[in-house]
Every structure is written in C-alpha cells, then in structure tokens.
Amino acid sequence: MRRKAELIDMKRAVVRGDGALDWHIAAERNVEVPSRLHFERWTGETSACITPKMGGVFLLTRLIRDAGIECDVPSPPNAWASHLPDKTLTHTHSLWVPKKKDTKCESKEKTWRMIATFGHIEAEEDSATWLLPPKQRPTRGSILVIQDLGFGIRRNTRLWGRWLKQNSQSIDRVIYHLALPSAASLINDALVRHVINILGRKVLITTSRDDLRRARVKLGQTISVETSAEDVRDALNRNPRLAFLKKAGVVIVSSPAIGAVLADFRNPNLPRYSLIFVPHDRERDFFSRHPGRVRGYAVCMTAALTVAAAEDGDFVRAAIRGLRSMRKLQELGGGPIFERNVASPKPRVQAPDFPFRDVTTTLKEAKEEPFSIASVPRSGKWSLLGDMLDSGDLEKNLFEIVTRGTEATCLEKVPILKLGEKLSVINRHEIESYLSLENMISEYLDRGNETRPLCLAAFGPPGCGKSTGIKELAGRLLLGGRDHLEYNLSQFADPSALIGAFHQIRDRALTSVPLVLWDEFDSTLGEQKLGWLKYFLAPMQDGKFQEGRLTHHIGRSIFVFCGGTSSSLEEFRVKAKKQKMAKAPDFISRIRGFVNVKGLDGNRNERPTAWKARRALILHSLLKQHANHILDDSSGDLKARIDDAIIRAFMGVRNFRNGVRSMESIILLSALQGKPEYVRSSLPPQEQLDLHVMAEKFNRLIRG
C-alpha cells in the first residue's frame, strides 16, 4: 500500500506532454523573409538576438500554476536554456520583428510579433519524465492534462494505456490538447484514441481550426460565424476520420480571433453545439489591427479549461476565458523591443517573451466581453439574425433598429458587416458574399505575378447600394480614392468609347492596382441585348485590348461589373442563355466571384424577419445621413426621434417602387428642416408619396 505522501493532491493537475525549447530570433528592424536565401554585406546597423524560451508542456505548466492551480509535472533538464544538443526536447525556431502594437491607435508603441517559422528539430528520446505517466497513484478527483504536440508523447502509447486502465477510477477529468501537424496525425495518433476509449466522456479535447485543416479536414473559409460553426459541426458528424472524437465528452475547436465551437457529447443521444463568437468582428479585422503572430494560443485555451475542471466545470465560460486570453496575447505580442531603464546611449534589444502576468489576469477574469454565446442546431443551415428576431417581439425589435441602428439591443449578438458609415449588412448570405469577394481581392493583391484583371460582379435591384458596398469593401484593403474608376456603360455611345477607358485604366495600373466599376454592364447596346459583354471577353481572359492593329496590356486591376437590370446572378444567367450571340455564357465563365445585394423588399425564399430588419437598418442609415438633427445623443445613446406610426408605415408597405432611392426620396421630400422630430405632418403630400410607394396603403398604415 502506497503512503499518503505519494498521492497527488486533489487540487493538483497532473500535467504531461511534449517539452520544447523555442528559439526566438529577434531582429531590431522589420525585415522581409526572402523567397531565396541570399547574403548581404555586414553593416552593423541592425541589432539582433537569439534567445531560448521554455515551450510546450513547460509553458503550459507555468500558466496553469500562475492561475492558481497546483501542478504535478517533472522539471526540465538542468541548465536547459543552454542545452542546445539536448535530445529530450523538441527545438523550434521562429523569426520575430517589431510591429506596431495597435494600428488603430495613435501611439507608435511597438511589440515583438512572429513573422516566420523555420521548422523544428524533434526530440530523439521518448523516455523523458514529462512524456511518461506519473509513478504516483492519483487520488480521486485528479485532473490529467496532456499536451500532445505530435512529438514524443505519442510514442509512449502502451505505457499510457496501462496506466490509464489502472487509474481510470481516480481521474475525474482529462484535458487533452490535440495538435495535428500533418495529414497523417489523425491516423497515426493512437494515444488520443487510447485515452478516449478508456476514459470516454471524461475526456475534453481541445484543438484548432488550423490543426484540423492541416490534417486535411475540409473546413471552408471563415466567411461568417454561422458557416464556421456549421463546418465544424458537420465535420464532427460526417467525417469518418473524426468519428472517434464523438466518444469523448466535449470537443472544442477554436480560433484566436473568430471564436470557438463547443460540441458536448456527454449525452450521446442529444449532442449540443454552442458557438462562441464576436458579433461585430472578424479575423481579418483583428489581425490587421494587431499584425503578426505569437506563440501560445493553444496554451491559453488549455490552461483555461484546466482551471474550469479544477473549479466549477463550466467549459463554455472557460472557453470564453481562453479566447479572451488568446486575444490579450495577440494584443501584447512578445513585449517591448528595448530594455527599459538601461543607462546606455543605445538601448539594448530585449528578447521576445510570453506575457505571463497580463494573460494570467485575463485568464482569471469572469468577463465575457466581447464574446457572445449561441446554440447551433444539430443539422442544416441557420441564421443568428433569424434566431434573435424570432425569439422576441418583431415590431418592437424593428422599431428599436430604426431608432438605434446597429446599437439596438436585439442586434447585440448578431453578426454585422459595416462597410463605411453608410452601409451595414446583417443578412448572412450577403455578408458571406462580400467577405468572399474580400478574400479574392486580398489574394489577388498578394499574387504579384497575376497580370489579368480580377473580374467580379455585383447584382441587385436599383438603388440597393451595390457600388457603395463594393467601394467600401475595397477601401478596407487600401483601395479606393485615387485608385477608383467608375464607368456607366449606358452613357457610352458605342464600343469605341471603351478604348479610352481601357487606356485610362492601363495608365493607372502602372503605379497601383485600380478598382474599376462598370455600372449597368448588362444594358442594351443599340438593339442588341447584353451587347456590351463581348467587348470585355479579351480584356477579362488575357488582360489585353485591341486598338486598330495594336495590342495593349491593361495591367493588374480589379473589374467589378454592377448589374442594372438583373437583381441576382441567377436572373442574369437566365437572360444570358437567351443571348448566346452576345457571348453571355462566355462572359459568365470569366467572372471569379459575385455578390447578390438584397433590396428593401422580401421574396418567397426569405423570412420576413430578415428583409424587414434590413429595411429598418437602411431607414436608420438614411435618417442619420439626411436628417441628422433628429438624432438625440443626450443620454449617450444615439437615438432617432421618429413617430412610431411612420416607422410602422415604412416597415409595412409592400414595396418601394425604386428601392432605396424611393425611401431616400420620401425622407428628402419630408418637411424636417428645423424640426426636432420626424412626425406625421412632416410627410410629403399623397401625390408625391405615390411616386415611391402605394400612397394609399402607406397612409392607411400611418392611421393604424
């Protein structure tokens, strides 16, 4: 019988995993990683340092201990920081450079962030104590934490199998961080399967979207939080390579900026899926504000889950703390560039390090901001907007959206894509289309060898904001301003006018990548429907145009074709089939991406809550743009002063004859000058209203 001194205390976490020595190469000045290695003359102008830092299971243990949980983990080898040839540790190498701490802040403060990794040297020995099960017998209620980075610990599966079978009754919870460095990881990693087979629902698996992608699990681009949640849910349910994970109790798939999907399989007959997300934020926004990467995202999540296992067992809230800690880590980076309080003419470079104190503080905070929680259905597509609005009083919610815009309480947990000051998008499919275009534009800009124009299209009813949305979207990627060109083909007399436009684009492309809007590209040329299309085929396909016998290259540019007669790509495709002489099918085949912009009016395929919420948000935007004086911010909360009856009429009328332009015209025709509130007497006369809506129906709604 073992002595009590040999037993692990219930408050402790038994931590085992792959040990690593992270070598940080820090360059004082920002450098670009060359595509080919080359040598330059030594100038001595740039200070640099290379520093080893504890990584892997040692980094995780330090964070868990700092959070107040006692850990049982073997110590790293003596003088380990100088153990360059140590074969018990995996050595990793990364390049760090100074980056602005926050690009949206006026401060010029910089921090270390990682811009490249140079691979690793895997540990050769698998007998290190941090890779093996503990010799002591754990007491009941113990927490086992395994950090599986895909290295040595996986080679001790048999030892772990025997130990787990002998001590399965004593272990209350297993927190298993599963890294998947390659496609073979899911097949070759027998350790995680052993742990799940022996301990079943006691096991909590934490991994990342990037890890699943590296293991060739099909996950789409993170174009919306709903899509991200559906992809993870469907992968867990349908991918046979992930079937073993459903035998665990909880599986968490996280991303430092987007959020996390938590799958709870503890009741196998009724699995539950939860989405933790930031409603008004996206991955690109977050990382563009804090550019570069750091090490330790997974460590933050694993530590947060370990703390929850030792305390209240609320893993949803723990995942939020883990995500908040990841964000704090990204914001802080690797710390200051130079040592402070050093009496030297030239400050010494300070090595990058993990910000333990600040991350630990965030880890222990009970706050949830900026994250929200939503339930994900077990199958099918869904919409956070529909769920939020359907769960409350629709009329009350619409009134609040009109008066408060995106700050409305009912939209607090709804993803919103803000395109400048004028346009906010809340429709899921529209958001996904815009973000898909943004990804295409970003990738095109990154590919320096692309010589043909990137060809995109935007469809929607007149006045729905197609051009505005595209211009604002491009502006997010530092396009726009002087790089924006716009042509309305309905105003061109004949195809020869295109030559001048192409030359103007060509001149602009010599110094930049211009955004080119071709408005009403689907208009008639003479008597030929869709007659303009054939004149774009060569520029779209080859990046060239013909002027007499001369052939000119257009250069790198982004063509956006904005439809004037088709409200969707599907509608345009139907028209195109009837116009084969106009080369319409060939034109469509050259389009790389599109967006269908929704109008004010609904259709049979759209839930009323969706189009009415969109209409309410557009109305608020127009009031803010054209009647700013009726907005009251005396309480610190911007709110439009408008009669409820007017809101009811704008929301209830069947359709606006000219889309957004009609709604805008009604506001402009209203007698609002000098009035603090939008009241019924401010509305235009019935005959003026009838130009834009069915005036009789509109007035009937006003009267109630």
pLDDT digits (tens, 9 = 90+) for 277-297: 988 766 557 777 888 899 999
Compute the mean pLDDT over every residue in the chain, rounded to the nearest whole number.
Answer: 85
Contact 562, 517 (CB under 8 A): yes
- Residue 233's pLDDT is what? 95
3-state secondary structure of 403: helix
**What six digits make up the tokens of 88?**
């018990």
- Residue 342's pLDDT is what? 53
Distance CA 316, CA 313 (A): 9
**How confident is the model over 502-521, as a mean pLDDT?**
92
Contact 16, 73 (CB under 8 A): yes
**Residue 425: DSSP 8-state:** E
- Residue 283's pLDDT is what? 55
Does 503 score more than 90 pLDDT?
A: yes
Nearest to 483 by CA among 519, 512, 462: 512
- Residue 180's pLDDT is what? 82
Nearest to 228 by CA among 293, 269, 281, 304: 281
Contact 176, 192 (CB under 8 A): yes
Pairing of strands 171-178, 71-72: unpaired
Cα→Cα distances 577→459, 538, 582, 583, Å = 17, 20, 10, 9
Summarize pLDDT for 349-386 with one digit per residue, the tens.
Answer: 788 999 999 999 999 998 888 899 999 999 988 888 88
Q: Environment class of residue 441 by beta-carbon count within 10 Å: exposed (0-12), middle (13-18) or buried (19+)?
A: buried
Distance CA 580, CA 587 (A): 10
Per-residue confidence band for 258, with pLDDT thresholds at 50, 70 and 90: confident
Kindly report the CATH class assigned to 428-596: alpha beta
Q: Which residues contact 22 (CB under 8 A, 6 or more apart)?
A: 52, 53, 54, 55, 92, 94, 295
**How confident is the model over 252-270, as a mean pLDDT?**
91
Nearest to 303 by CA among 319, 290, 282: 319
**How confident is the model over 331-344, as a mean pLDDT?**
77
Contact 504, 485 (CB under 8 A): yes
Cα→Cα distances 266→176, 207, 270, 326, 376, Å = 16, 18, 8, 27, 16
Contact 29, 97 (CB under 8 A): yes
Q: Backbone phi, then psi, for 271, in 5-degree steps?
A: -65, 145
Per-residue confidence band for 532, with pLDDT thresholds at 50, 70 and 90: very high
**How confident is the model over 114-122, as a mean pLDDT?**
88
The sign one gets for the Cα dihedral 532, 535, 540, 545 is negative
Per-residue confidence band for 138, with pLDDT thresholds at 50, 70 and 90: confident
Straight-line distance from the first to the last Cα atom of the chain, in angstroms, rounded to the nearest whole number = 84
Bridge partners, 515 (sequence order): 484, 558
Which residues in the chain are classed under CATH 3.40.50.300? 428-596
Q: In the chain, what is the greatest distance between 2 CA atoms, to the nearest angstrom?
A: 98
- Residue 507's pLDDT is what? 94
- Residue 42's pLDDT is what? 46
Does 79 score more than 50 pLDDT?
A: no
DSSP H helical segments within 223-314, as ranges?
Answer: 225-238, 283-289, 297-310
**Which one is predicted more confidently, 343 or 529?**
529
Contact 207, 177 (CB under 8 A): yes
The CATH architecture annotation of domain 4-33+44-364 reads 3-Layer(aba) Sandwich (3.40)
**Residue 628: DSSP 8-state:** G
**Which one is predicted more confidently, 141 or 133?**
133
Cα→Cα distances 591→78, 594, 688, Å = 62, 8, 41
Does 479 score more than 60 pLDDT?
A: no
Summarize pLDDT for 3-15 with one digit per residue, the tens.
Answer: 333 333 445 799 9
Radius of gyration from C-alpha coordinates of the chain: 30
Distance CA 458, CA 594 (A): 6
Amino acid identity, residue 552?
H
Nearest to 351 by CA among 365, 335, 366: 335
Summarize pLDDT for 176-213 with one digit per residue, the tens.
Answer: 999 987 666 666 678 999 999 999 999 999 999 999 98
Summarize pLDDT for 15-70 with one digit per residue, the tens.
Answer: 999 999 899 998 876 555 444 434 444 445 556 788 888 899 999 999 999 999 98
Least confident interval from 248-252, 354-358, 392-396, 671-675: 392-396
- Residue 413's pLDDT is what? 83
- Residue 428's pLDDT is what? 85
Q: Which residues contact 156 (CB under 8 A, 6 or more apart)?
A: 126, 131, 132, 133, 191
**Residue 415: DSSP 8-state:** -
Does 447 score more than 80 pLDDT?
A: yes
User: How many other C-beta atoms are found inside a 10 Å radius of the C-beta of residue 381?
Assistant: 10
pTM (predicted TM-score):
0.84
- Residue 39's pLDDT is what? 41
**Residue 642: DSSP 8-state:** B
Angle at 482 between CA 478 and CA 487, to 5 degrees: 110
**How confident is the model over 131-145, as a mean pLDDT?**
87
Summarize pLDDT for 534-590 with one digit per residue, the tens.
Answer: 999 999 999 999 998 899 999 999 999 998 888 889 999 888 888 776 788 899 999
- Residue 601's pLDDT is what? 81
**How confident is the model over 244-261, as a mean pLDDT?**
92
Nearest to 655 by CA among 513, 502, 463, 488: 463
- Residue 666's pLDDT is what? 96
Q: How many residues does the chain have?
A: 704
Q: Environment class of residue 137 by beta-carbon count within 10 Å: exposed (0-12), middle (13-18) or buried (19+)?
A: middle
Cα→Cα distances 548→60, 551, 660, Å = 69, 8, 43
Q: Which residues contact 169 (CB under 8 A, 6 or more apart)?
A: 140
Does 521 score more than 60 pLDDT?
A: yes
Nearest to 454 by CA among 439, 475, 464: 439
H or E, element range at 551 = strand 550-553
Distance CA 140, CA 121 (A): 38
Q: Can you state the percent helix, strand and coil of the chain, rounding each to 5?
A: 40, 20, 40
3-state secondary structure of 253: strand
- Residue 330's pLDDT is what? 93
Does 665 score more than 90 pLDDT?
A: yes
The distance from CA 77 to its chain's CA centroid, rounded to whole angstroms, is: 40
Distance CA 656, CA 694 (A): 8
